Structure 1
Amino acid sequence: MTVQFVWFVQIKLSECPLVFRKTLAVLALLSFPLPALACGPDDDCLVETGNYRISMPEAAPRGALVFAHGYRGSSRGVMRNMALRRLADEYGFALVAINSVSGSWNLRYSPGKTFSEGRDEMAYVDAVLDDVIAKYGVPAGNVYATGFSEGGMMTWTLLCERGSRFAGFAPMSGTFWTPEPAECASAPADVVHIHGTADPTVPITGRQIGQSKQGNLNTVLAMYRAHGDYRDAGRETLDTMTCEFARNPEGRRLDLCLFDGGHSFSVARLRQALDWLTQG
């Protein structure tokens, strides 16, 4: 048997020492392409400007739930929430935990940030979505976005700038930093916003942090109502929330659900939002 290398040197293996033959065998194995490293809920999936983690349902995914963590959070921490993972499974969704740089999203006017020098979060999310759709067979038209606290701010930013890439949004306990945007680039979308009436961390009217200030939820909702021509469509008192509904001429929803409490995340409240968003 003769082995031929790319530099056209031919060697008869029978005439080579045993150690050399073993070395050639290793080199031959290395010449084949290696499979991509596996990723999932316990290991990072890599994209050009960052990483994310993903938990898949048992069957082929019917869609995906993209979750943005709060301040000092991480995709690793999101995946530790087994109740959230079970919720995604109930819908047949892949749970996609996007990951900030150093525990904080690069959002316009946020404290301690030089926005123009930080990561382009919209380009990062575009890369994550493209990766998830290509590698895991997630239907591109059935992806929902949600997030809590600073992750709620990230969700509102996605809603305003990448609305067409998602089927619906459920931001929780966060909107924007001031000044709030006067308009959104994306077409009107389906939104259910959830917030605690006694939230001391991200109050409905916002809170000053250093030179920055959190946005006023009522200002943001008024802007988005005008953006999509949403009109009042009633209210409903549930076990855990009181919700005010609005609809626009295209049937899009803009709902505000308030609960008596502070800065807390609830899978049960998110489930209600997803029920409305997925059922139209």
Structure 2
Amino acid sequence: MRISALLLALISASPVLACGADTDCVLGDRTYRIAMPEGYDGKTPVGALVWSHGYRGSAAGAMRNGSLRRMLSDQGLAFIATKSKGNDWDIPNGPGKPDSTGAAEFDYFDAVLADAQARFAIDPERIIVSGFSAGGMMVWNLACSHPQGFAGFIPMSGTFWLEPPETCAQPVSSIVHIHGDADNTVPLDGRAINETRQGKVSDALALYTDFGGFGPAQPVSAGDLTCEDKTNAAGEILDFCLFPGGHSFRTEHLLYGIEQLKEAGQL
């Protein structure tokens, strides 16, 4: 893991105080929250899902989603809810962020992983990241530009602003993208917002297909999800799943993504 000066500052400026689902874990001027699985013994290492909220969301708000917390607990996963510094994530080409590289957020996520592993028994080999809407955009940026430390990615109803990068950073990872087929907030073909625009989901998938050497798509149906699943020679997966409807988050869709990553050996 790359240890930057900002990351070190976040960690060193943070007193080691009790924190959890109802209390912020403090990292300098940033925070996150964490809920361990029910019955957690405090010693046995567990996997974790790192959650990236949507526009104007919060870690505290994510923790109030009882269905999400129960599902992750049932899966034996810690629930780590991150928090943007302002209303939104600082990622390339976002509104009002023409010069952003995403580096500040990448450092923050590194610091969250380091701090959570220092405080709790988190298995560093079984950490995945997911997020909805603007949080899904944050997930795609992590997957493509800063995948170190994560075993897999589940972006939901979000993609890159404007367009994907020219290429991605190693290692190639497993990604399950989930999106509503009638989403008008983050349409599959994007839309203009202020001086920028949301990118096309198809462009992100095409970039990662080429980058990861993923093979032809195989059609799969699961519940109300209609998916196109791809694999590569190393066994990573790139799945694209649509559900009928608009801009909405459903716990069962995230569960499907988790199950796919488990089947691929990422959890």
Counterpart of 1:222 (choices 193, 201, 206) is 206
Q: Which residue of 1 aligns with 2:3?
A: none
Matched, 1:252 2:236: yes
Counterpart of 1:106 (choices 66, 78, 90) is 90
CA shift for structure 1 position 66:
0.2
Counterpart of 1:56 (choices 36, 51, 67) is 36
CA shift for structure 1 position 75:
0.5
For residues 117 and 170 of structure 1, the distance between their equivalents in structure 2, rounded to whole angstroms, comes to: 21
CA shift for structure 1 position 36:
3.9
CA shift for structure 1 position 61:
4.6
Counterpart of 1:191 (choices 175, 194, 204) is 175
CA shift for structure 1 position 113:
2.8
Counterpart of 1:132 (choices 116, 139, 155) is 116
* 1:107 and 1:115 in contact (8 A); partners too: no
For residues 117 and 141 of structure 1, the distance between their equivalents in structure 2, rounded to whole angstroms, comes to: 26
1:115 to 1:242, Cα distance in 2 relative to 1, 3 A: same
Q: For residue 232 of structure 1, give the secondary structure of its aligned residue in structure 2.
A: coil
Matched, 1:44 2:21: no
Question: Unaligned regions of 5+ residues in structure 2, if any?
Answer: 1-14
CA shift for structure 1 position 42:
0.9
Aligned length: 246
Identical amino acids, percent of aligned pairs: 45
Aligned CA-pair RMSD: 1.6
- Poorly superposed stretches of 4+, deviation over 6 Å: none
Question: Highest CA radius of gyration, 1 or 2?
Answer: 1
Q: Which residue of 2 aligns with 1:262?
A: 246
Q: Deviations over 1:146-177 (max 9, x none)?
A: 00000000001111122231111110000110
Counterpart of 1:173 (choices 157, 160, 165) is 157
Structure-1-length-normalised TM-score: 0.84
Question: Unaligned regions of 5+ residues in structure 1, if any?
Answer: 1-34
Q: Deviations over 1:191-214 (max 9, x none)?
A: 100001100000000010011100
Q: Deviations over 1:83-102 (max 9, x none)?
A: 11111101111100000012
Amino acid at match of 1:72: R
Q: For residue 165 of structure 1, give the secondary structure of its aligned residue in structure 2.
A: coil
Q: Which residue of 2 aligns with 1:28?
A: none
CA shift for structure 1 position 67:
0.3
* 2:92 and 2:101 in contact (8 A); partners too: no
Matched, 1:242 2:222: no
Amino acid at match of 2:56: R
For residues 174 and 118 of structure 1, the distance between their equivalents in structure 2, rounded to whole angstroms, comes to: 16
Q: Which residue of 2 aligns with 1:30?
A: none
Matched, 1:67 2:51: yes
Structure-2-length-normalised TM-score: 0.88
* 1:88 and 1:95 in contact (8 A); partners too: yes
